[in-house]
Structure 1
Amino acid sequence: MRTFLVSWFLFNSYIAVFFSISNLVLVSGQCQSDQRQLLLEFKSSFNTTFTSPGKMMKWNQTSDCCSWDGVSCDAGGHVIGLDLSNGIILGAIDNSSSLFRLQHLQRLNLAFNLFIYAFPTGFEKLENLSYLNLSNAGFTGQIPVEISRLTSLVTLDLSVILFQGSLELEMLVQNLTRLRFLYLDGVNISATGNKWCRALSPLTELQVLSMSHCCLSGPMDSFLSKLRSLSVIRLDQNNLSGLVPPFLAEFPTLTSLHLNDNDLSGRLPEEIFQIPTLQALDLSNNRVLEGSIKKFPLNASLQTLRLTHTHIGGQIPESIGNLGQLTSIELAFCNFSGPIPKTVEKLSQLVYLNFLSNSFSGSIPNFSSSRNLTELNLAGNKLNGTIHSTDWSGLLLLVSVDLQTNKLSGTIPPTLFGLPSLIGDLHGKASLLLRYVDLRSNKLQGQFPVSLFEFHGLEYLSLSSNNFSGLIPMTAFQNLRNLSYLDLSYNRLSIDATTTNISSLSFPTFNILMLGSCNLTEFPVYTESVSFSYSTNSFLKNQTSLNYLDLSKNQIHGGIPNWIWKAKSLSYLNLSQNFLVEFERPLKNITSTLGFLDLHGNQLHGKIPILLLHAIYLDYSNNNFNSVLPAHVGDFLQSANFFSISNNNFHGSIPRSICNVSALKVLDLSNNSLRGPIPQCLFQMNVSFGVLNLGRNNLSGIISDTFSESCQLKTLHLNQNRLEGKVPKSLANCKILEVLDIGNNLINGSFPCHLMNIAMLRVLFLRSNNFSGHIDCSGDNIGWKMLQIFDIASNNFSGKLHLTFLGTWDAMQPNPDKNQSELKDLRFEGEALDPFYYQDAIIVTIKGLIPEVIGTFKALYGLNFSHNAFSGPIPLEYVDLSSNSLHGEIPSQLANLNFLSFLNVSNNKLVGPIPTSTQLQSFSEASFENNAGLCGPPLKATCGLPPAKTHNPSDARSTINWNYISVETGFCFGFGISVTLLIFWKRWRKWYFERMDRALSGLFPCFPLETRKHGRRANRNQRRH
């Protein structure tokens, strides 16, 4: 009986399956006629002339509509699914379209088409829809609110690449409580956290929330925590701010969290890294987001981790080895430090690793077990040791290696450039795998790895700024036919640029070629055989795609070939620091589109024959040009940001046409023989200037009082000219000015207190002018909180030193919470084809200066008040300077000055013992000489024992009075006439000190030159990159 029942059950099951299959076969052949007609009517509504037939191509009256491409039916022959995605359908769907009469439709996909008209409003008629995908369908205008009536929807995708309208989120989803998958990427929602989170809170079954680039703002609200079923959260590319909420770590099935490209801040909850189900985490480009990684869970599911451009840092935990499924990790531009844990060697599934620009130290781990690794980027760290730690031969799929800007040393291991995968072991194709190698800016050494020439697929090779050696013939690069970027600069390599019997077609087509400091003696050429004769041509001339050429700091002699100015693709040319003397003629029909031209540091002479109309950066400095500047020079600089002709022999006046250059950021005409007045228009156009350097010429006249209120100057050098008049009041409009040097001119007037309104000023030179009067800048001036160099030496200032404002110079005082800026940071960054900057490297011989509060000035570089006529006692806040008439004792606070490199209080009337400190006693005796009352080391004069203490009031008063009296009356009377002349007659005073210097030189042969020289000089060196 039991066997019979079982047999009967199996028979019935067989019959049921049979009829089910039969029914399916019948369905495919029994499309309902009304359904066919509706679909054909929908097809006919589009213009087939402009529309790709796509999936509708075979729709016709004779075939079964249930078998049409993109159509699916139920058992009754009703259309329940329509997928016309990626059909490139062009046209409109109006509100009466037959589409909306397909009443049984459950799934509709119109994604990626060209319905370039407004959304139709008939979707609410499709009340059985559970899946609606209109992503990137091309519809415009407002998303129809009728979609909110489709209460059966489980999946809704309205994502767009570019959406012109806006969406009221709460109105759209208020009835869609069955939604599990919601995609609104690119839709303009424009709502704050409280609003959009509240709108989503009823969707308790939601599993996927994708709202990238939706103009969401504010912090994420706790309403979001009600969506406990979420497994995928994509909220990237919004304006979200505030903290990352800890409740995200409480979602039990969360697999993907993308919050990148927002403004999230604060400390990241550590629990985020410990979600056991999480497979993808992307927090990148939240630039103020902080935190650290304490640990990863055992058996973690994480496959992708991206934290790039955040402040997350600290050490990577050893538990990173728990991420056995990790395929991609990107921690670039973060704050990670310490060694890279050896446990990364367990990441056997790793494909991509990027730790660019952190502070990782120690050696490179062994990545031999990561056999799927294709890209490895450890650039911009502090890694040391060698590259031998990894068995590179096992990385068969390696495509990119970037280890640049570290402290790696030793040689390149043979296995790195001898990988089996790179020399043909993978069916002859592996030699094409390695495409990118960047090892520049390390301490690598040894012979150039010639095995590189076997990697025929190599596209990018940079080994610059190392210690590689050897001779490399240019012919060696013939095999690297795909090589487009080559940088071998700044090693100890020598390039043999001459080739014989070689066709130019056999070389790679370079886009970027950098051979700086490669001992080149000529431009690379080749000699090819043509009908048994030889023709010499420039190898570079035939590089028709060459965009960037750097041959700087070589030994190339002769002329600059004229074909360079006709190279159509060349935009960057650096031939600086060679021995070039001329421009090859003829120079006609110049069609150059060069944007960057650097010829500085050669021996070019005569006139400037090349002024390029499209150039952004032009540097002709440090040559032997010896002509007047062309009157029309400004007409050829319309695109220029940077123009320098410094350190040449140009003469004549500054052409007014230079004022026509509206884009100019840096203008350097210094150290020439230019004469005449400075064109007034040059100051009037300074709204565009960042740097103006006209120093060390023979310019005359006044500094025009025409600086605009929107002045953007950061550096102004007018030193060592013959300028006169007063410091213009409008100069105070240059609020971001950092360097002002008008020293060594004929400028007069009182101390320019209005300059104290320039709060950013760091360097001020007024020395060797005709300034006079007292220095008293009391009032409402802002003050110099950034000032680090202050030089007013060799003027006619007089009176007492009322300089209490020095105590407000914050940049000289210690700040434990802030790194002190250094003078090497004085630079102006420009925007050109290649980022450039103009840097002021200021060399100062410090003389004089000793304020009492200067004992706390940790960032001070120089103060100089010498060669003036200051008088009176040394203020308690400030100690005296050399070559004045100051007296009193040196404050004991001077012992705190452990940072001074040079000190000079000579030629005053100081008395008493020199404060004892290791620093002060390290200075030479000449630093304190000609102060008759000073004693103690380093002076030979010893200080006597102090008298025994008594309680006699008169004696006490005598002692106190002695501390304030500089010299006895007889001494002052004897030297009265000389002192008067020193104070009021500048020419005699200079003559006197010159004679004194000679006398001191004779008495003290080892006397330092810097000490004998009164005053100091500030030299500006340039460094451009």
Structure 2
Amino acid sequence: MKLKILQLLLFLCMKLLVSAEIRCIERERQALLQFSGNLSGLTWGSEEDKGECCNWYGVECTSTGHVFDLDLSYMYLRGKISPALRELQNLEYLTLKDNNLTIDNLNWLSDISSLSYLDLSGVDLRAVTNWLQPIAKLSSLEELFLSGCQLRDPPSAFDVFANSSLSSLSSLDLSHNELTSISTFDSMFNFSGTLIYLNLSGNQLKRLPKFEQVFNLRYLFLSSNSLEGTITEHNLANLTQLRELDLSSNSLEGTITEHHLANLTQLKKLDFSFNNVSFNLSIDWIPTFQLEIIRLSHCNMGPYFPNWIQKQNSLSELSLSFAGISDTLPNWLWNRSFMEYLDLSHNNISGRMPDLTMSIYEILDLSYNNLSGPIPLSVFRHSANLRLSKNLLSGSISNLCTISERLPVQALVLSNNQLDGELPGCWMNMHDLTVLDLANNKLSGKIPPSLSTLRFLSILHLGNNNFTGELGSCLKNCKRLKKLDVGGNKLTGKIPAWIGTHLRGLAVLNLRFNSFHGSIPLTICYLTVVHVLDLSRNNISGKIPRCLNNFTSLAQNDGSPILDRNIWLEGQQIEDDDNALVQWKGQESEYKRLKNMKGIDLSSNKLVGTIPQAFSDLKGLLFINLSRNHLTGNIISNIGQLDTLEWLDLSRNQLSGEIPSGLANLHFLSFLDLAYNNLTGKIPLSTQLQSFNSSTYIGNDKLCGDPLAECPHDPSVTNHGKVNIVEEDDRFINRDFYFCMIFGFIIGFWVVVGTLVLKHSWRHSYFKFWNNIGNWMYVTTKINMTRFKRKILS
């Protein structure tokens, strides 16, 4: 060990001695200074280092002082890339990825003939139309990365490659751009037989490239395009060296048999997910490959569990969700020591949960199936992220207490089952838990104080169970909570004031359908990032706080999601199964299906007083429900400012006054209920308000107008009940208007007639014009009548 340390120190000393002797070329130093002059956020070090560019950050020099490597990735630089880099004639590696940089053209690149590695990923190249031409002249280029550069199709790609060659190109990444034409790559591949890595994901390509000349290709990524047609039309079987194939999230169709996969003997990753592809493989087929990653979500694999997967001994990830499987879980699936990700959700798998004594799963998702019986102890012990929602599971979850700290549990999603009993009190054993979802079960008892130890808890769903008691102060320590849903239980007491002071990061607060009483604490207004506030169906009294305009997230109409927390595994996003409920348009809907939902529901309580004017500042609201309270006063006059509002329910209160005219301007309003109040006057005229039926306004005896009965003193209606042409707003039409109209007609008439009387030449031309018109009409009519008679006689 000591010998290795001495060797390492000797190596470092020799490197320092060599680097101390290197002196950078002055011309190249000036080029780097000119390059940095156009950028903000780039400094080359202290003043004493300014003279020696080979010591600058991100700069590597050869033994002769020439810059051969410039790596300034992830430095948050801003500005334009200077063509001065063309002076670095010996540059081999150039990396400027993930900076806020722009550039007018890439012509300077063709002067750096030694360039073998180029990474401009994330640089804004939308203004560069001929980006391919200078790159095609780099005969030494081996690796090219232009991901997320907003590139568009280059002109005349074939002509570019006809006079040039990328004979050394092995890696090409043009993912997440705006490319639509595949002919660009057909031309490129005709001249490049060395390509090993190709990533064209996240574009708008409609067909696969032609792969005749890229027989050495090992990595092919074409996900999230617009690929169409039958998968069997594309001859992928010739790519015998292929190791990773990703065609996910396209519109490919067809049936895959063992014939299409037989030659892919080197394959390690297969991803056809989110296509309309079916697999028809014989039950005794033995694959010629050993896969590590299988992603076939939304591919038809059923009805039986695919037996060929049993032969894959190196699997680390298997996703067969929405695969049409109506089978039981095979025993061989659990004889693997470790899997990072197993997703069999959204099938029709039945039977009991297996024993996982032999396996450990980073993520295990068996949700949305028909699994029954109790959850075995081994399932809790061997799953770091466990998702079993929407099954038929029953029994207690008290065996959670046997979970050891050896495997850090991060998520438990057991909602929509038939679990019963009380919650265990051993949550201190799960320090890393971030998601706990037990909603829609038959759990009872009190919320255990040990939940206070879950300091990383982000999502807590306990809704629609039978929990009793008060919402104890134990949750005040869970300061990272983003969603708190305990609706649909039997909780009592007052709404705790500490929710606003300690849980300021809450995006969703759902306390609906409990027995909370007392007033809404003013500290609730500290929840500045709240998206959904649901306190409905309780016994809450008092007034609505006037400080609601402190909800800055509700004041912003930016379409921001409720919660931006997801689990990522190998680049794959797995959403939290957060099924908190909201009363939306008359029925309960899950928040996860309404990602941008923003609203307030205080309905079915005992609230008094007026509607706060602060509501008019919450311009991001999609729904407001204040129905079934004892609210008085007028509907706020500025409600027309909430132009994104889709749902408004103020029914069954004691509101008075007229309906604000601004309500007619809410063009997205699809649900409105103002029934059973004391509203008066005429319903404002608009396409929107008249589209609702009379039940929207029923129970307001002094309210009139379409769609209710006509107002008795409406000036727009005559004594005979016929609508006058003059609208209500045309009050400027009076006696003076008619006098001016008659006077104008007389003046206009005599200007024309008087001129004809006094001006002989004009009068002569006028009557001659009409005389010619009469003659033409007479002759035309006579000719047509004669032709008609001849036709009849013949």
Fold match, TM over 0.5?
yes
Aligned to 1:635: 378
Q: Which residue of 2 aligns with 1:435?
A: 196
Any idea what the Cα deviations from partners look like across 1:374-404, whole Å, max 9, x if unmatched?
2111113332336864734522221111111
Residues 654-683 of structure 1: CA distance to partner in whole angstroms, max 9, x if unpaired?
A: 3524751642111111112222322333x4
Compared CA separation, residues 666 and 328, structure 1 to 2 (3 A):
same
Measured after TM superposition, the shift of residue 765 of structure 1 is 0.5
1:116 aligns with 2:3: yes
Structure 1 residue aligned with 2:54? 256
The one of 430, 446, 452 aligned to 2:211 = 452
Aligned mate of 2:678, from 919, 932, 947 = 932
1:872 and 2:609 aligned: yes
Give the 3 Å change call, closer, same or farther, for CA 321–579 of structure 1 in structure 2: same
User: Of 588, 611, 615, which residue of structure 1 is paired with 2:361?
Assistant: 615
Look up the equivalent residue of 1:549 and give its one-letter code.
Answer: I
Q: Which amino acid aligns with 1:543?
A: F
Cα shift at 1:553: 1.0
The number of equivalent residue pairs is: 655
Correspondences of 1:183-222 after superposition (within 5 Å)? 207-208=21-22
Match of 2:553 among 811, 815, 818: 811
After TM superposition, give the deviation of residue 437 of structure 1 in Å: 0.7
Which residue of the other structure, out of 118, 121, 124, is the alignment partner of 1:353? 118
Aligned mates of 1:346, 1:938 — CA distance in 2: 71
Q: Secondary structure at the match of 1:887?
A: strand
Does structure 1 retain, via aligned residues, the 8 Å contact 2:328–2:350? no
Kindly indicate whether the alpha-carbon contact (under 8 Å) linking 1:687 and 1:708 is maintained by their aligned counterparts in 2: no
Give the C-alpha shift of residue 551 in structure 1.
Answer: 1.7
Task: Choose the corresponding residue for 2:504, options 748, 752, 759.
Answer: 759
Deviation per CA, 1:12-39: give whole Å up to 9, x if none: xxxxxxxxxxxxxxxxxxxxxxxxxxxx
Alignment partners' CA distance in 2, 1:361 and 1:503: 39
CA distances 1:395-444 after superposition (whole Å, capped 9, x unpaired): 2221111111222112243644542342xxxxxxxxxx111111112110
Matches of 1:599 and 1:708, distance apart in 2: 33
Structure 2 spans left out of the alignment, 5+ residues: 34-40, 587-595, 617-624, 687-694, 708-794
Provide the secondary structure at the position in 1 that maps to 2:360. coil
Distance 2:441 2:671 in 1: 38
SS in 2 for 1:732: helix
Identity %: 26
Give 1:725's match in structure 2, choosing from 469, 479, 486. Answer: 469
Pair 1:492-2:261 in alignment:
no
TM-superposed deviation, 1:787: 1.7
Distance 2:4 2:247 in 1: 56
Q: Distance in 1 between matches of 2:53 and 2:30?
A: 9
2:628 is aligned with 1:883: yes
Residue 268 of structure 2: aligned partner: 511
Q: Which amino acid aligns with 1:618?
A: L
Query: Scaled by the length of structure 2, what TM-score is found?
Result: 0.72
- The one-letter code of the counterpart of 1:259 is Y
Tell me which residue corresponds to 2:560: 822
Counterpart of 1:336? 101
Question: Does the 8 Å contact 1:911/1:935 carry over to 2?
Answer: no
Q: Find the counterpart in structure 2 of residue 792 from structure 1.
A: 535
Contact 1:360 1:382 in 2 (8 A): yes
Question: Are the counterparts in 1 of residues 45 and 57 from structure 2 also a CA contact under 8 Å?
Answer: no
The verdict on how the C-alpha distance between 1:897 and 1:833 changes in structure 2, with shifts beyond 3 A counting, is: closer
Given that residues 804 and 877 in structure 1 are in contact (C-alpha distance below 8 angstroms), is that contact kept between their aligned partners in structure 2? yes
Task: Please tell me the residue identity of whatever aligns with 2:13.
Answer: L
* Matched letter for residue 377 of structure 1: F
Give the match's secondary structure for 1:456: coil
Counterpart in the other structure of 1:783: 526
CA deviations over 1:601-645 (Å, ceiling 9, x no partner): 1111122336362211100011122x1123xx2324434221111
1:734 and 2:478 correspond? yes
Tell me which residue corresponds to 1:464. Answer: 223
Structure 2 distance, partners of 1:507, 1:491, is 21
- 1:770 pairs, out of 502, 507, 515, with 515
1:397 alignment partner in structure 2: 168
Are 2:339 and 2:360, in contact at CA under 8 Å, matched by a contact in 1?
yes
Matched residue type, 1:868: N
Q: How does 1:49-448 map to 2 (within 5 A)?
A: 116=3, 136-137=9-10, 158-159=13-14, 182=17, 207-208=21-22, 244-245=44-45, 247=47, 251=51, 254-260=52-58, 304-317=69-82, 326-337=91-102, 341=106, 343-344=108-109, 347-362=112-127, 363=129, 364-366=131-133, 367-385=135-153, 389=157, 391-392=160-161, 394-413=165-184, 415-416=186-187, 418-422=189-193, 433-446=194-207, 448=208
Q: Which amino acid aligns with 2:601?
A: N
Relative to structure 1, is the Cα distance of residues 361 and 231 closer, same or farther in structure 2, using a 3 angstrom cutoff? closer
- For residue 656 of structure 1, give the secondary structure of its aligned residue in structure 2: helix
* Shift in CA distance, 418/810, structure 1 to aligned 2, threshold 3 Å: closer
What SS does the corresponding residue of 2:648 show, helix, strand or coil?
Answer: coil
Q: Report how far residue 919 of structure 1 moved.
A: 7.0
What letter is aligned with 1:439?
Answer: L
In structure 1, what is the Cα distance between the partners aligned to 2:266 and 2:638? Answer: 67
Alpha-carbon RMSD: 4.3
- C-alpha separation between the residues in 2 aligned to 1:117 and 1:347? 40
Residue type at the aligned position of 1:864 = D
SS in 2 for 1:413: helix
Work out the CA distance in 2 between the residues paired with 1:508 and 1:925. 58
- Please tell me whether residue 838 in structure 1 is matched to residue 576 in structure 2: yes
Q: CA deviation at 1:583?
A: 4.2
Aligned partners of 1:230, 1:315: CA distance in 2, in Å? 17
CA contact (8 A) 1:647 1:671 kept: yes
Does the CA-based 8 Å contact 2:674-2:697 persist in structure 1? no
**Cα distance 1:918–1:892, how it changes in 2: closer, same or farther (>3 A)?**
closer
1:902 offset after TM fit, Å?
Answer: 2.9
Query: 2:326 aligns to what SS in structure 1?
Result: strand
Contact 1:454 1:480 in 2 (8 A): no
Gaps spanning 5+ residues in structure 1: where? Answer: 1-113, 120-133, 139-156, 161-180, 185-205, 211-228, 234-240, 261-277, 282-299, 423-432, 526-535, 849-858, 941-995, 1008-1025
For the structure 1 residues 807 and 833, does the alpha-carbon distance in structure 2 shift closer, same or farther, using more than 3 Å as the test? closer
8 Å contact kept, 2:385–2:411: yes
1:326–1:347 CA contact under 8 A, matched in 2: yes
Q: Is the 8 A contact 1:456 1:481 kept in 2?
A: yes
Cα distance in structure 1, aligned partners of 2:628 and 2:607:
9
Shift of 1:728: 1.8
Question: Greater CA deviation, 453-462 or 927-936?
Answer: 927-936
Deviation (angstroms), 1:520: 4.0
What is the rounded CA distance, in whole Å, between the counterparts of 2:231 and 2:395 in structure 1? Answer: 47
- Change in Cα spacing, 1:917 to 1:361, as seen in structure 2 (3 Å) is farther
Distance 1:508 1:352, change over 3 A: same
After superposing the two structures, state which structure 1 stretch, 399-408 or 907-916, moved more.
907-916
Checking the alignment, whether the CA contact within 8 Å between 2:496 and 2:521 is kept in structure 1 is: no
Q: List per-residue Cα deviations over 1:916-968 (Å, max 9, x = no partner).
A: 5477453479444444335565479xxxxxxxxxxxxxxxxxxxxxxxxxxxx
Structure holding more helix per residue:
2
Kept in 2: contact 1:562–1:587 (CA 8 A)? no
Contact 2:350 2:370 in 1 (8 A): yes
After superposition, the Cα gap between the structure-2 partners of 1:701 and 1:456, relative to the gap in structure 1 and judged at 3 Å, is same
Alignment partners' CA distance in 1, 2:671 and 2:284: 66
